[in-house]
Chain A
Amino acid sequence: MQYYVLIPLLPLSAFVLNILFGKKITNIFGESFKIGAHWISLLGVASAFVLSIIAVKDVMDGHVVNADLYTWITSGNLRVSIGFLIDQLTAVMLVVVTSVSLLVHVYSIGYMHGDKGYYRFFSFLSLFTFSMLMLVMANNFLQLYFGWEMVGLCSYFLIGFWYEKKSAASAAKKAFVVNRFGDFGFSLGVMLVFLTFGTLHYADVFQGLPGIIGQKITVLGFRTDLVTVIALLLTCGAIGKSAQLPLHAWLPDAMEGPTPVSALIHAATMVTAGVFMIARTAPIFNASRTAMVCVMLIGGCTAFFAATIALVQNDIKRVIAYSTISQLGYMFMACGAGAYAFGIFHLYTHAFFKALLFLCAGSVMHAMQGELNIQKMGGLKKYMPVTYWTMLLASLSISGVPGLSGFFSKDEILLKTLASGLPFSGVVWVLGMLTAFLTAFYSFRVIFLTFHGKFRGHGELTHHLHESPPSMAFPLMVLAVGAVAAGFVGIPHSLGGHDAFARFLEPVVGEARSEGSVAQQWVVMGLSILASTAGIAGAAYVYLKKTDLPQMVAESFHHLHSLLYNKYYVDELYDLVVVRLFYRISRGPINRIVDGRIIEGVVNGVPSLIAWSAARLRRVQTGVVLHYSLVMAGGLFAMVVYVLARLWKVI
Chain B
Amino acid sequence: MRFDYPILSILIFLPVVSGILLIFVSRRFERAIKWFALTAATLTFLFSLPLFMNFDKGTSRMQFIERHAWIDDWGTSYFLGVDGISILMVLLSTLTGILCVSISWYSVKDKVKEFYIALLLVEGFMIGVFCSLDLFLFYIFWEAMLIPMYLIVGVWGGPNRIYAAIKFFIYTLVGSVLMLVGLIVLHHVADTFDLLKLMNTQLPYNLQLILFWAFFAAFAVKVPMFPVHTWLPDAHTEAPTAGSVLLAAILIKMGAYGFLRFSLPLFPQASVAMAPVMLVLSVIAIVYGGLICLAQSDLKRLIAYSSVSHMGFVTLGIFAMNGYGVQGGLLQMINHGVVTGGLFLSIGIVYERTHTRQIADYGGLASVMPIFAAFFMVFTLASIGLPGTNGFVGEFLVILGGFSRNRLSGVLAATGIIIGAIYMLWLYQRVFFTSVNERIAGLKDVSLREGLTLLPLLILVIWIGVYPDFFLSFMGTSVNSLLARLHQGPLDQSNVMNGVISGAGAFVK
Interface set of A (CB-CB < 8 Å, partner B): 19, 70-78, 142, 145-146, 148-150, 153, 156, 160, 163-166, 169-170, 172-173, 176-177, 180-181, 183-184, 187-188, 191-192, 194-196, 198, 215-221, 223, 226, 582-583, 585-587, 590-592, 594-595, 599-600, 603, 607
Contact = CB atoms under 8 A, between A and B. Distances in A.
A176 B425 contact: yes
Contacts of A582: 291, 294, 422
Contacts of B422: 177, 180, 582
B42 interface: no
Given A72-B468, A77-B494, A195-B501, 8 more contacts: A73-B393, A146-B388, A150-B386, A172-B429, A177-B422, A215-B501, A590-B291, A599-B229
B394 to A, nearest CB: 10
B433 interface: yes
30 contacts: A70-B467, A72-B468, A75-B397, A76-B493, A78-B397, A78-B400, A142-B396, A146-B392, A149-B392, A164-B364, A170-B429, A173-B425, A177-B422, A180-B422, A187-B396, A187-B399, A215-B501, A215-B502, A217-B504, A217-B505, A218-B504, A220-B508, A221-B508, A585-B291, A586-B291, A586-B293, A587-B294, A590-B288, A590-B292, A591-B295
Interface in B256-295: 288, 291-295
B360 interface: no
A583 B404 contact: no
Interface in B452-509: 466-469, 472-473, 476, 493-494, 497, 500-502, 504-505, 508-509
A75 B504 contact: no
5 A-B pairs closest in CB distance: A76-B323, A169-B433, A591-B295, A586-B294, A146-B387
Contacts of B501: 195-196, 215, 217, 226
B366 interface: yes
Given A164-B367, A221-B508, A599 B469 contact: no
Contacts of B374: 19
A607 B494 contact: no
A321 B473 CA distance: 47
A165 B364 CA distance: 10
Interface string B339-382: 00000000000000000000000001011000000100000010
Given A73-B472, A166-B434, A191-B403, A218 B505 contact: yes
A198 B497 contact: yes
A138 B410 CA distance: 25
Contacts of B291: 582, 585-586, 590
A73 B468 CA distance: 6
Contacts of B324: 75-76, 78
B417 interface: yes
B403 A74 contact: no
B70 interface: no
B160 interface: no
Contacts of B322: 76
A146 B387 CA distance: 5
A268 to B, nearest CB: 23
A184 B504 contact: no
Contacts of A72: 466-469
Contact of A191 (B167, B229, B399): B399
Interface in B414-448: 414-415, 417-418, 421-422, 425-426, 429, 432-436
A160 B414 contact: no
Nearest to A71: B469
B355 to A, nearest CB: 25
Nearest to B423: A586
Contacts of A590: 288, 291-292, 295
Contacts of B364: 164
A71 B288 CA distance: 35
A599 B227 contact: yes
B478 to A, nearest CB: 13
Contacts of B504: 216-218, 223
A607 B163 CA distance: 13
Given A585-B291, A595-B230, A603-B230, A184 B508 contact: no
Contacts of A188: 403, 410-411, 414
Contact of B403 (A19, A195, A219): A195
A164 B493 contact: no
A607 B169 CA distance: 13
Contacts of A583: 294-295
B327 interface: yes
Contacts of B468: 72-73
A586 B296 CA distance: 9
B32 interface: no
A220 B364 CA distance: 45
Nearest to B293: A586
B200 to A, nearest CB: 26
B175 interface: no
Contacts of B240: none
A70 B470 CA distance: 12
Given A73-B469, A76-B323, A195-B501, A180 B417 contact: yes
A73 B471 CA distance: 10
A230 B366 CA distance: 41
Contacts of B493: 76-77
Nearest to A164: B435
Nearest to A152: B386
Contacts of A194: 400
B328 interface: yes
Nearest to A217: B504
Contacts of B392: 146, 149
B329 to A, nearest CB: 11
B230 A184 contact: no
B1 interface: no
A313 to B, nearest CB: 26
A181 B418 contact: yes
B170 interface: yes
A75 B415 CA distance: 23
B432 A153 contact: no
A132 to B, nearest CB: 14
Contact of B433 (A153, A164, A219): A164
A226 B422 CA distance: 31
A180 B418 CA distance: 6
Of B171, B229, B410, most buried by chain A (CB within 10 Å of CB) is: B410
B429 A74 contact: no
A71 B468 CA distance: 9
Contacts of B227: 599
Contacts of A77: 493-494
B387 A176 contact: no
Of A172, A195, A216, most buried by chain B (CB within 10 Å of CB) is: A195
B497 A74 contact: no
Contacts of B386: 149-150, 153
Contacts of A184: 414-415, 417-418
Contacts of B435: 164, 166
B327 to A, nearest CB: 5
Nearest to A596: B230
Nearest to A81: B469
A219 B292 contact: no
A173 B429 contact: yes
Interface string B320-340: 001110011000000000000
A585 B419 CA distance: 13
B497 A607 contact: no
Contacts of B328: 75
A221 B434 CA distance: 47
Contacts of A599: 227, 229-230
A148 B403 CA distance: 22
A375 to B, nearest CB: 29
Nearest to A188: B414
B429 A169 contact: yes
Contacts of A221: 508-509
B472 A74 contact: yes
Given A73-B393, A187-B396, A600-B230, A587 B434 contact: no
Contacts of B418: 177, 180-181, 184
